[in-house]
């Protein structure tokens, strides 16, 4: 018989054995109410790996004595979904009349779909009718934000419950339970001296914690001592808590961007390291730095955009691991640079007006092109003043449509030296024209 992993041997069979997620399974938790009432709606469990999504679904199904089918979105398609739905329809419960079914409280088949975010639109669509009619109660599990990955019609029919990573106290409870209740571990003389590395490598993931214990036990003869050195030695690498295709991707890149914008180079470098250690594509990070240089630094330091572009080219040319140095240099430069979003605000303001402006505002005649004689006769291009013909290469004339004369889209951020100079020059050239 194949060796059963520790995580499987310790899988809880009821809510009283379930560790963590007190907001859901505690004395007043919603899942205890489901079991007490004998009725459960369709729902989606959203949380990181190893926090008990599958276990919780099985506990609910067993407690309610429901038929329970499991599909993995990785290996299943529309055909598999329809087969389960057909089986559900053929259950005795669904052969009785609608009235009788209602009286029984809709005690139908539970369909659990692991990694439901991997289903495409057509696969998710195939679930809609069965869920809406109550043929199946859907329980979905996902590591990614269902708002982005689950179609709206299906999401509207499901309650979403968020599961959290285990804290150190809960990991300690799980460790104690494993050592005290698992028959295989009890037959080994195991002493736990330190838990810092064990919990750090686990990253709030119960399954990962138990797998690490399995690895240590499997790699040890005789008495076993679990301490930070032994854990690190067995794992031989740092397990980065970063999923470049999942929720962590969005959280960490968001923190990175906001740290640069907030002028904190230490935090920015930390999140850069998180992304690189987690396997993020370096060119993706470089693209974000180019955007940051334009959006958040802008005219306060125009050299930032030049450096960010150079960074992108360099990363593309040399790749990892050397690219980490260029990314770090650029990240620190942008984080410590003065900030201005004036260009970002200017184009947004102009676009907002243009997109909602129903007036076809004519371009002033003197700014129009006059490629034909008729256009010239109509005044196209007439009275245009060529700036370089005047002192300082400037002469006052109207460039906006007449109805928008004096409208300000760009407002210099005078809190930094570069744009203060721009503001002074604008006032020198235009006086109070754009002070309205």
* pLDDT tens digits, 201-222: 888 889 889 988 988 888 888 8
What is the CB neighbour count within 10 angstroms for residue 58? Answer: 19
Pairing of strands 68-72, 43-46: unpaired
Instruction: Identify whether residues 49 and 80 lie together within a single domain.
Output: yes
Write out the DSSP string of 286-298. HHHHHHHIIIIIG
73 plus 119 within the same structural domain: yes
In the chain, what percentage of residues exceed pLDDT 70?
92
Rounded Cα–Cα distance for residues 3 and 427 (Å): 79
Give the model's pLDDT for residue 107: 56
Strongest mean pLDDT among 190-194, 332-336, 413-417: 332-336
Q: What is the predicted pLDDT for the residue at 236?
A: 66
The least confident of 46-60, 67-81, 136-150, 237-251 is 237-251
Residue 313 lies in a domain: yes
User: CA of 238: how far to CAs of 6, 96, 216, 232, 250, in Å?
Assistant: 22, 57, 16, 8, 21
Does any domain span residue 204?
yes
Domain assignment of residue 7, yes or no: no
**How many Cβ atoms from other residues are within 10 Å of residue 132's Cβ?**
12
Asked whether residue 401 falls in the same domain as residue 419, the answer is: yes
> How far apart are alpha carbons 134 and 102 in whole angstroms?
10
Q: Quick one: 224 and 256 in the same domain? A: no
Task: Count the Cβ atoms, other than its own, within 10 Å of residue 275.
Answer: 25
Question: Where is the domain boundary, 275, 305, 336?
Answer: 336
- Which pLDDT belongs to residue 247? 55
**What distance in Å separates the CA atoms of residue 68 and residue 55, rounded to the nearest whole number?**
13
Q: What is the crossing angle of helices 303-318 and 323-336, to 10°?
A: 170
Boundary-marking domain end, from 302, 336, 370? 336
From 144, 162, 180, give the residue that closes a domain. 162
Are 130 and 199 contained in the same domain? no
In a domain, 375, yes or no: yes
Average pLDDT of the segment spanning 340-369: 82
Q: How many domains does the chain have?
A: 4
Task: With respect to residue 131, please indicate whether it lies within any of the assigned structural domains.
Answer: yes
Asked which of 61-65, 101-105, 186-190 is least confident by mean pLDDT, the reply is: 101-105
Are 26 and 110 members of one domain? yes
12 is a domain residue: no
In a domain, 351, yes or no: no
Q: What is the CATH number of the domain that holds 282?
A: 1.20.272.10
358 confidence band (pLDDT: 50, 70, 90): low
Same domain for 149 and 82:
yes
User: Do 219 and 259 share a domain, yes or no?
Assistant: no
Asked if residue 10 belongs to a domain, the reply is: no
Place of tokens 């605000």: 345
Read off the DSSP letter of residue 191: E
Tell me: pLDDT of 246 over 80: no
SS3 breakdown of the chain: % helix, strand, coil, rounded to 5?
55, 5, 35
Domain enclosing residue 396, as ranges:
358-430
């Amino acid at each position: 018989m194949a060796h059963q992993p520790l995580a499987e041997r310790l899988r809880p069979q009821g809510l009283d054995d379930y560790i963590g997620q007190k907001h859901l399974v505690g004395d007043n938790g919603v899942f205890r109410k489901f079991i007490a009432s004998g009725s459960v709606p369709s729902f989606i469990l959203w949380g990181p790996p190893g926090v008990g999504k599958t276990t919780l679904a099985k506990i609910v199904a067993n407690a309610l004595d429901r038929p329970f089918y499991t599909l993995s979105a990785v290996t299943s398609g529309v055909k598999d979904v329809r087969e389960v739905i057909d089986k559900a329809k053929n259950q005795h419960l669904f052969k009785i009349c609608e009235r009788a079914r209602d009286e029984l409280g809709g005690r139908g088949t539970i369909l659990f779909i692991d990694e439901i975010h991997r289903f495409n639109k057509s696969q998710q669509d195939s679930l809609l009718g069965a869920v809406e009619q109550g043929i199946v109660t859907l329980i979905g599990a996902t590591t990614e934000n269902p708002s982005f990955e689950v179609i709206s019609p299906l999401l509207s029919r499901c309650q979403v419950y968020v599961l959290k990573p285990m804290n150190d106290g809960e990991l300690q409870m799980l460790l104690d339970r494993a050592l005290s209740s698992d028959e295989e571990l009890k037959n080994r003389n195991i002493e736990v001296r330190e838990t810092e590395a064990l919990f750090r490598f686990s990253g709030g993931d119960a399954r990962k914690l138990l797998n690490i214990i399995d690895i240590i036990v499997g790699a040890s003869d005789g008495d076993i001592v679990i301490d930070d050195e032994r854990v690190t030695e067995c794992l031989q690498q740092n397990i980065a808590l970063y999923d470049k295709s999942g929720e962590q991707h969005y959280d960490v890149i968001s923190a990175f961007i906001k740290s640069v914008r907030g002028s904190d180079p230490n935090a920015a470098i930390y999140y850069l390291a998180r992304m690189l250690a987690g396997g993020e594509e370096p060119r993706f990070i470089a693209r974000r730095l180019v955007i940051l240089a334009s959006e958040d630094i802008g005219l306060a330091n125009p050299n930032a955009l030049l450096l960010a572009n150079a960074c992108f080219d360099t990363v593309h040319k040399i790749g990892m691991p050397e690219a980490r140095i260029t990314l770090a240099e650029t990240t620190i430069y942008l984080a410590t640079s003065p900030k201005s979003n004036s260009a970002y605000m200017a184009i947004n303001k102009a676009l907002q007006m243009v997109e909602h402006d129903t007036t076809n505002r004519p371009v002033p005649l003197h700014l129009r092109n006059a490629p034909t004689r008729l256009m010239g006769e109509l005044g196209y291009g007439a009275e245009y003043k060529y700036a370089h013909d005047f002192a300082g290469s400037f002469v006052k004339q109207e460039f906006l449509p007449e109805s928008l004369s004096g409208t300000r889209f760009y407002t210099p951020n005078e809190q930094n030296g570069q744009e203060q100079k721009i503001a002074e020059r604008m006032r020198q050239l235009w006086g109070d024209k754009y002070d309205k």
